Every structure is written in structure tokens, then in C-alpha cells.
Amino acid sequence: MTSSATKIYLVDDDRIVCHSHTLILQKYGYEVEVFNSAEAFLEAHPKPNEGILVLDHNMSGMSGLDLQRKLINEKTLIPIIFITAMYETVNELATKNGAIGVFEKPFDPKELIDLLNTVTVSS
């Protein structure tokens, strides 16, 4: 089981997706903070140094890959997991840039929880 202190930053511009992912993550003991854009996340957490970032790629404004590049350029090390409908576009570049996982929508939530459990146990 996870630590209740494990923070998940969920970034997706689809409110229904955010709601369903939040329910799943909270069920497994994760604390979830939701943002409807990459810009909103950066405004609230300009240099996140804890938690795990779970984000979509295709959002209005800054894309998920743009956010990942910005964090890399600023030497911000936070584990990133993508959940996207654009798997073929995102997977290779995201993992090359250090994403710990890329899931294609729709996905099996258990696979996400298993990956999160692996990351939080090894932290």
C-alpha cells in the first residue's frame, strides 16, 4: 500500500478525466492536487521538488511534452507519468526525456497504481 504522504499532481484539461483519476488515486491512498493546465501547475508549483506528476499531453496552451521539457531545462527532477490519447506521438520522446511511464487512454488503472507503488516504494 502507498504512503498517505505521497502527492500526485494531476494535470489534464478534461474535468471528467481529472475527476475519475482523482477518485482512483485517492482510493489507493494518494493525495491528489488537480490542475487544468500546465501553466496552472507551474504557477502553483514553479519548482516542484516532491511528489509525482501525472499529466496529459494534448492540452490547450502548453502541452505535456512542453511542460516536461521546461522542467528538465530548469533542472527540476520530479517523476513524470503521461496518460494520453496520443500514445504514438508521446511515448518515445517522453520516455527518452525521462518519463517513468506512458499510458494510452483508455488504460487499466491498476497498471498506473502498480507503477506508482513501485515509484513510491523506491523513493
Domain harbouring 70, CATH code = 3.40.50.2300
- pLDDT, average across residues 36-58: 94
Residue 95 falls inside a structural domain: yes
Q: What distance, in Å, lies between the first and last C-alpha atoms of the chain?
A: 14
Q: Considering only CA atoms, which of 116, 111, 106 is closest in space to residue 54?
A: 116
Domain assignment present for residue 62? The answer is: yes
Answer whether residue 57 is part of any domain: yes
CA distances from 99 to 19, 67, 110 (A): 23, 12, 18
* Domain containing residue 64: 7-109
**In-domain check, residue 2:** no
Candidates 41, 32, 43, 47; CA nearest to 11 is: 41
Q: What is the domain count for the chain?
A: 1
Side-chain-side CA neighbours of 56 within 13 Å: the count stands at 23
Please tell me the pTM assigned to this model. 0.91
Position 119 pLDDT exceeds 90: no
Domain assignment present for residue 114? The answer is no
What are the tens digits of pLDDT across the range 18-27?
A: 999 999 999 9
Taking only the tens place, the pLDDT of each residue in 94-106 is: 999 999 999 998 8
